[in-house]
Each structure stands twice: as structure tokens, then as C-alpha cells.
Amino acid sequence: MFDSLQSRLGGVFDKLRGRGALTEGDVEEALKEVRTALIEADVELGVVEDFIKKVKPRAEGEAVIRSVTPAQQVVKIVHDTLIETLGSEGTGLQLGSPPAPILMVGLQGSGKTTTSAKLGLLLQTKEKKKVLMASLDVARPAAMEQLKILGEQAGVPTLPIIAGQTPLTIAKRALAAARVGGYDVLILDTAGRQHVDEQLMAEAAAVRDLTNPHETILVADSLTGQDAVNIAKSFHTRMPLSGIILTRADGDARGGAALSMRAVTGAPIKFLGMGEKLDALEPFYPERVAGRILD
Ligand code: GDP
């Protein structure tokens, strides 16, 4: 992810550095190119405009232009504003008293089930939590089976599957099992659909009302770019998200989704999916990402 954006911005700033002394016009020209690069990386248009609006007055001021290293100052301002856009709040999960329910939502194919198992494994191994997982995807028995298999691979227990139960009944059963079993965390993998639809939202909202999750995490595919942003908007208006996990960040996504998600929903990206393997889940650090983009 971010490779093409990184090389585009690198080019813009190399040119700026090559000039030595800068005029306001030079900075304005560079920011125009930054704007184009962000749009081409699929960053949501409103997010691009806000970004440039913040950077411009900071970068075009006399203090920057008259400084000994004007180009470096401009890069620093872009860097700091990137971190502001990505959100500098902590990336960790906010889990209250056990069993802490985590609701996983997202479209089918986004990587939701794999990510549920990855998160279960990470909490179990890195944070020493006792984790139970349950699939609520009654429309696709294969999805329930998949979580069970992934759970076995990860060594994270899953709620036994009972055919014919509704998502709410399974959620109740999962909560009871988590309480009785002394689990710290309960990961609920909700049904994924092809599109954001009313039934999907109503079902997930009913499960949320029943379980009162400590985290509601949207799993979104970074390769879908602008679409991932639109999906996040639709989910967030129906069901406030507490965090986002972007999958397929190991692929060649242009990064627009990563740069837009937090600004559009207010929910921070908490982890990146970095591959198909169950340990391929990394915490999202805005400083590192900004550093990478402007390397
Ligand atoms: P779901 O329908 O949303 O539950 O999606 P799945 O969890 O079944 O994932 C769909 C496919 O995407 C599977 O082949 C996963 O191995 C793959 N996948 C999930 N996350 C990632 C990721 O971060 N990187 C890559 N490369 N593949 C992923």
C-alpha cells in the first residue's frame, strides 16, 4: 500500500528541495501537485480539500518561506497534517469488564471472518486474554464452519454451532457461554452481505443492542478504495463504529481508504490486515504511515 503515493509525493518534494529559496508561488504549485496525488490515490475528495485547506496557510507563511530549510518545513507540515488526518489517538482496543464483546461488521469478502480469527489470536497471544469467538452468519453455514476451522488453526475456541438458530439466539448463547467459561473477550462475527442492505444493518443493530459491544469494528478491504469509504459511511450512520480494520494492506492498494476512513467516520483505523496468515495483523500507527508516505 501507498507505494505510488509515496513516489508521487517524493517527486513533488524533491522538486521543491531542488529550488533552494522558495516563493509562495512555489509552495502553491507543490500543494496543487500534492492535491492531485491524493485524488489519484483515491482519497475522498472532501478529505483532500480539508487536508489542503489545513496545509496551505501553514506552509505558505513567511516563517516557512524565509526559513533556512523551507522545503523541509513544508514536508514537515504535510507530515504532521497527515497524522492529524489519520488520527493520533491510541490504536489499542478499549475493552471493559469481561466478557467484553467485540462486534465485527462488514461486507462479505472483506476478510471479516479471517480478521475475527486474527484478532482472537492476537488478543490471546499478545494480550493473554481468554477469547471466545462465535459466528452469527446464519445465512451462510459455510461461514460458520470457516470460523470454526480458523479457530482451530489459531487455537482460539469457538461457540459450538447449532443449526437453525437466529443471530440473536446465538448471540445470547455466546454471551452466556462467555460468562460461564470466564472468557475475557467475545468476538462476534456478524453476517456479511454483498452490499450494504437494510436487513444486514437491522440484524447487526439488533445484535449490538443485545450485546452492548465494547468495540464495533468495521472490516473493510483497502483494495476497494473509494468504495471502502462509502461502505464505512453507510455503516457508521446506522451503527457508530469504534474502529476500523483495513484488510489486504499487503496488496497494492493506493491508500485512499486508509487516508480517508478516520476523517469520514471519526473512527480510527486500529489494525491492518497484512496477509492471509492468521498472524498477519498489525496495529496501525499513524506516525509510521505518515513517515512511510513521506519517506
Ligand atoms: P469474509 O467473507 O469477509 O468473511 O472474508 P474471508 O475472511 O473469508 O476472507 C476472504 C479472503 O480474503 C480469504 O481468502 C482470506 O484469506 C483473504 N484475506 C483476508 N484478509 C486478508 C489480508 O489482510 N490480506 C490478504 N492478502 N488476504 C486476506
pLDDT at 90: 62
The closest of 167, 209, 278, 208 to 218, measured between CA atoms, is 208
pLDDT at 65: 83
Which secondary-structure segment (H or E) carries 84?
Answer: helix 70-86
* For residues 194-204, average pLDDT: 81
| HEC per residue, 231-269 | HHHHHHHHCCCCEEEEECCCCCCCCHHHHHHHHHHCCCE
- The CB of 109 under 6 Å from ligand 1? The reply is yes
Q: Would you say residue 74 has pLDDT above 80?
A: yes
* Minimum mean pLDDT range among 112-126, 145-159, 252-266: 252-266
Long-range contacts, stretch 20-24, CB < 8 angstroms, 24+ apart = 21/70, 22/64, 22/65, 22/70, 22/71, 22/74, 23/65, 24/60, 24/65
- Quick check: ipTM above 0.95? yes
* Binding-site annotation: residue ranges for GTP: 106-113, 189-193, 247-250
Confidence of residue 169 (pLDDT cuts 50, 70, 90): very high
* For residues 73-80, average pLDDT: 92
Instruction: Point out the ligand 1 atom lying closest to the alpha carbon of residue 110.
Output: 3
* For residues 6-23, average pLDDT: 88
Q: How confident is the prediction for the chain on average, in pLDDT?
A: 92
pTM metric for this prediction? 0.93
Choose the most confident range, by mean pLDDT, from 62-71, 150-159, 257-266.
150-159
pLDDT at 157: 98
Confidence of residue 33 (pLDDT cuts 50, 70, 90): very high
Q: Decide if 270 contacts 249 (C-beta within 8 A).
A: no
Confidence of residue 239 (pLDDT cuts 50, 70, 90): confident
- The CB of 282 under 6 Å from ligand 1? The reply is no
Instruction: Point out the ligand 1 atom lying closest to the alpha carbon of residue 272.
Output: 23
Instruction: Point out the ligand 1 atom lying closest to the alpha carbon of residue 143.
Output: 4
- Residue type, position 190, single letter: T
Burial of 10 (0-12, 13-18, 19+ CB in 10 A): middle
pLDDT at 144: 94
Asked if omega into 98 is within 30° of 0 (cis), the reply is: no
Q: Would you say residue 89 has pLDDT above 80?
A: no
- Which residue owns the Cα nearest ligand 1 atom 5? 111
- The CB of 90 under 6 Å from ligand 1? The reply is no
Confidence of residue 62 (pLDDT cuts 50, 70, 90): confident
* For residues 28-46, average pLDDT: 93
Residue 264 Cα, ligand 1 centroid: separation in angstroms? 24
**Which residue of 196, 224, 247, 252 sits with most ligand 1 atoms within 8 Å of its CB, as the best mutation to test the pocket?**
247
Confidence of residue 50 (pLDDT cuts 50, 70, 90): very high
Confidence of residue 168 (pLDDT cuts 50, 70, 90): very high
pLDDT at 69: 87
Predicted confidence (pLDDT) per residue in 111-149, tens digit? 999 999 999 999 999 999 999 999 999 988 899 999 999
